[in-house]
A and B are shown apart, each in its own frame.
Chain A
Amino acid sequence: MSHTTVLSVDDLTVTVGTRRGPVRAVAGVSWQVRPGETFALVGESGSGKSMTLLAATGLAPRAATVTGRVRLLDTELTALPDDRRRKVRGRHVGFVFQDPMTSLNPVLPVGRQVTEAAEEHLGLTRRAARDRAVELLELVGIPSAARRVDAYPHQFSGGMRQRVAIAMALACEPDLLIADEPTTALDVTTQAQIIELVADLQARLGTAVVWVTHDLGVVAGIADTVAVMYGGRIVEQGPVDAVFDAPTHPYTRALLAARPDPSRRGEDLVAIPGSPPSPLDLPPGCAFWPRCPVRADPRCEHELPPLTTVGDGHTVRTFYRGEAG
């Protein structure tokens, strides 16, 4: 298959009905994932990164209204009825969620969970599915997979469960793997193993990966493209090298500056003062304005900055253009 993009999201907006009125969780975001690439979606909790992905794949909660266009390979997902979208999603997209302690069904053997998607979408028989489950569990590095295929999730450690979840996501050999903060709930050494595993599998299988995270270290290590979200919008997007070498949006700069730096041992850690805006009460201009340490261009306060190209594939949503001189 030769597609220029695996997933293409165009002007996606998600409005969630709440008791205190409709809340715009995602406001017109656009991005593409190319075959085989790793696309990182970065932002604080509540910035809209998970909602963007759930809405794009038809998994948004019932209370949410989704507009915009989403294209998966050759299929316009947003135009499909639920049932067709379900099939396309299950066949071509694999998901790994944040918490492996809760994302696996506690009363179903892991092998069954790993391959039920393949039974549904590829028509595998129960017997073939079982062999495939062992194969997949071996692929993600579960020791004595043939024996453990009938074990239940509670018989695995957190890291092993996340491996099971990855095996599950790969069951239909998807074109796209969506990993929604898959290492947040794990301890640091396990995190590194999981990141390595996904990178390795991606290299072997050629799967495109969307990696949702707030860990910029991970982004620098594995991603090709990064999009930084704040207040439901993408504030800066581009090739990882460009964004990390020349961050333009004050939020991106603040995030990068907030990374702990071993050479500044003993000094206070840098933090961004304040907290993210409530989606119920977004500022009229740039959502980051109330916390912005730069505030160099007063237009940012009242006027929504347009997405502007500042380099090759590097776009940013601010009027600010970097320190003079």
Chain B
Amino acid sequence: MARFVLRRVLQSAVVLVGVTLVVFLLLQLVPGDPVRVALGTRFDPQTYEALRERAGLDQPLPVQYASYLGHALTGDLGVSFRTGQPVSQIVLERLPATLSLAVTAVVFALLVAFPLGIVAAVRSGSAVDHAARVFSQFGVSVPDFWMGIMGILLFAGVLGWLPPSGYVALTDDPGRWATHVALPAVTVGLVTASILTRFIRSSVLEVLSADYVRTAEAKGLRSRVVILRHVLRNALIPVVTVVAVQLASLLGGVIVIEVLFAWPGIGRLTFDAVQARDYPVLQGAVLLVAALFLLVNLLVDILYARLDPRITVK
């Protein structure tokens, strides 16, 4: 197990280096000069050249990249063009907001999708099944920003139960954190729940027709036991992947939702960095997202081996 984790971490490191290269090259293709944007109206040729030199932008590309990578290895991701703050500090500051939003959204989605998906499959063709289908159709087809706006209008505007936007850190005030995270998390979570409901339904439905489920029924087990012990454990295996992909993509920051709810997460940071051509921050944000993605994948592989005895982690 330890060797497996070590090998996967090393593999992930290679992937991360690849990510830095791709991001670095992509940024060269983006039109616009970051130094010029940073200077704005204070532009004069001398300061411009000086800043370019200080940022190393006058160097050839391979040199720029090698220098970036070298610094990144020591945890130094450069400084923001705009504020001069260290990038590593900026992105890590944004992590708790995104983390708490993503985790809350996924927990909400799981709480909705599991019971709904299972009941829809076990009673396929029933009213619950149809309701689940309508729900997931609605969830995947309605744009999340619209759902967010409607949520704000209803719960913050008309009913006044929840704040329309803003963020309070969980560590500062759990109660106020909860009221602030509710709307964005449910908005994001509804989409995830819709996707998961469908997936869980079809996975359970497939397992229900498996021979070993008939075996379990032949034994005269209670249907609750058949579902929980025989169907669910098997149906869960493919579902884990989908949950992980959803979680990973939410950890990457839900840009539109974070902007809409003034949620100071990675998505919001990425959005601002793109607008300001703040390359170091953008690179840092992408790197962090990639790292989170790889981490989630590693956890999923370990979880897989725990769920499915046929898979051994070596």
Nearest A residue (CB) for B215:
A103
A84-121 interface code vs B (CB 8 A; 1 in, 0 out): 00111111010101010011111110000000110011
A152, CB-defined interface residue at 8 Å: yes
CB distance from B40 to the nearest CB of A (A): 61
Other A-B pairs beyond A90-B218, A105-B212, 6, CB < 8 Å: A59-B218, A89-B218, A108-B229, A108-B233, A116-B221, A152-B309
Nearest B residue (CB) for A151:
B309
A57, CB-defined interface residue at 8 Å: yes
Q: With a CB–CB cut-off of 8 A, which chain A residues contact B308?
A: 106-107
Q: Would you call the interface of chain B mostly helix, strand, loop, or mixed?
A: helix
From A87, A91, A106, name the one whose CB has the most chain B CB atoms within 10 angstroms.
A106
Q: Are A95 and B218 in contact (CB under 8 A)?
A: yes
Chain B stretch 253-312: residues in CB contact (< 8 A) with chain A: 307-310
Chain B stretch 120-158: residues in CB contact (< 8 A) with chain A: none
Q: With a CB–CB cut-off of 8 A, which chain B residues contact A103?
A: 211-212, 214-215
Q: Are B219 and A97 in contact (CB under 8 A)?
A: no
Q: Are A104 and B215 in contact (CB under 8 A)?
A: yes
The listed residue (B210, B218, B219, B309) touching A154 by CB distance below 8 A is B309
Q: Are A106 and B219 in contact (CB under 8 A)?
A: no
A-B contact count (CB 8 A): 76
A316, CB-defined interface residue at 8 Å: no
CB distance from B213 to the nearest CB of A (A): 8
14 contacts between A and B (CB under 8 A): A59-B217, A86-B220, A89-B220, A90-B219, A93-B218, A95-B219, A102-B210, A104-B215, A105-B233, A106-B212, A116-B219, A120-B219, A120-B221, A168-B219
From B210, B215, B230, name the one whose CB has the most chain A CB atoms within 10 angstroms.
B215
The listed residue (A59, A91, A99, A107) touching B211 by CB distance below 8 A is A99
Q: With a CB–CB cut-off of 8 A, which chain A residues contact B237?
A: 107
B167-189 interface code vs A (CB 8 A; 1 in, 0 out): 00000000000000000000000
Q: With a CB–CB cut-off of 8 A, which chain B residues contact A117?
A: 219-221
Q: Are B216 and A105 in contact (CB under 8 A)?
A: yes
The listed residue (A88, A104, A107, A120) touching B233 by CB distance below 8 A is A107
Chain B stretch 181-226: residues in CB contact (< 8 A) with chain A: 210-212, 214-222, 225
Task: Compute how far the CA of A46 lies from the CA of B181 in the bound complex, rounded to whole angstroms.
Answer: 58
Q: Are B230 and A105 in contact (CB under 8 A)?
A: yes
From A90, A91, A105, name the one whose CB has the most chain B CB atoms within 10 angstroms.
A105
- Given A152-B309, A152-B310, A154-B309, A90 and B214 touching (CB < 8 A)? no
Nearest B residue (CB) for A107:
B233
CB distance from A155 to the nearest CB of B (A): 8
Nearest A residue (CB) for B125:
A62
B234, CB-defined interface residue at 8 Å: yes
Q: With a CB–CB cut-off of 8 A, which chain A residues contact B215?
A: 95, 97, 103-105, 165, 168
Q: With a CB–CB cut-off of 8 A, which chain B residues contact A90?
A: 218-221
Task: Compute how far the CA of A135 lies from the CA of B233 in the bound complex, rounded to whole angstroms.
Answer: 27
Q: Are A120 and B225 in contact (CB under 8 A)?
A: yes
From A108, A154, A168, name the one whose CB has the most chain B CB atoms within 10 angstroms.
A108
Q: With a CB–CB cut-off of 8 A, which chain A residues contact B210?
A: 102
Q: With a CB–CB cut-off of 8 A, which chain A residues contact B220?
A: 86-91, 117, 120-121
- Given A59-B214, A97-B215, A107 and B307 touching (CB < 8 A)? yes
CB distance from A93 to the nearest CB of B (A): 8
- Given A97-B211, A152-B310, A106 and B234 touching (CB < 8 A)? yes
Q: With a CB–CB cut-off of 8 A, which chain B residues contact A59?
A: 214, 217-218
